[in-house]
Amino acid sequence: MEKTEMQKLLDGEWYRLTDPEIAGRKTSSAALCQEFNAIPENEPEKQTAKAREIFGSAGKNLTVHSRLTVDYGKNIHVGDNFLSNYNLTILDIAPVNMGDNVWIGPDTDIYTVNHPLTAKGRQQRLGIGKTVNIGNDVWIGGHCTICPGVTIGNGVVVAAGAVVTKDIPDNVLVGGLPAKVIKKIEQ
């Protein structure tokens, strides 16, 4: 029996982006994000309740500001004391796991979906999901990009504007394009 496109996605294999089941996830999450983004900033309790409806799981003290854009939402798992500033995009076709005390600056993007390097692969509308893991006590500055398959360790600071393309060890400051370790942080 041949695998469904959803099973390929879940198994970390190339899948077709146009598959109705996969596309259907985006449709329902887009509606929830529209509802979230319509909530005024002076109603944080309503924002928190809607964010909890969107995310797969969230710990205590959840703060998410608008605009929020997600692919699916249910693949997003955040720990306690999560803070996201304005304009967070998480393309969570694969899981995005974040620990406790994660702060995310404005205009940050987290991607779990990648596409083929070949034109033929892109013409076939293929994608592949790669999990993103972010440890505890991480501060991601504004205008950052976290690429598919990246793991960010505990106690990390990602400088504003950084593009994280590779795993980051614990307790370091990283910055640049692509992000590189700038210095060790003594905790």
Chain centroid, CA 71 distance in Å:
9
How many Å apart are CA 11 and CA 5, to the nearest integer? 10
The residues, ordered by sequence, that sit 6+ positions from 45 with a Cβ below 8 Å of its Cβ are none
How many Å apart are CA 163 and CA 142, to the nearest integer? 11
The residues, ordered by sequence, that sit 6+ positions from 48 with a Cβ below 8 Å of its Cβ are 62, 63, 64
Instruction: Please answer whether residues 127 and 113 qualify as being in contact, where contact means their C-beta atoms are separated by less than 8 angstroms.
Output: yes
How many Å apart are CA 163 and CA 159, to the nearest integer? 9
The bridge status of strand 96-98 relative to strand 132-134 is parallel
* Residue 115 annotated among the catalytic residues of the structure: yes
Which SS3 state, helix, strand or coil, does residue 118 take?
coil
How many Å apart are CA 78 and CA 76, to the nearest integer? 7
Give the residue numbers marked as catalytic: 115
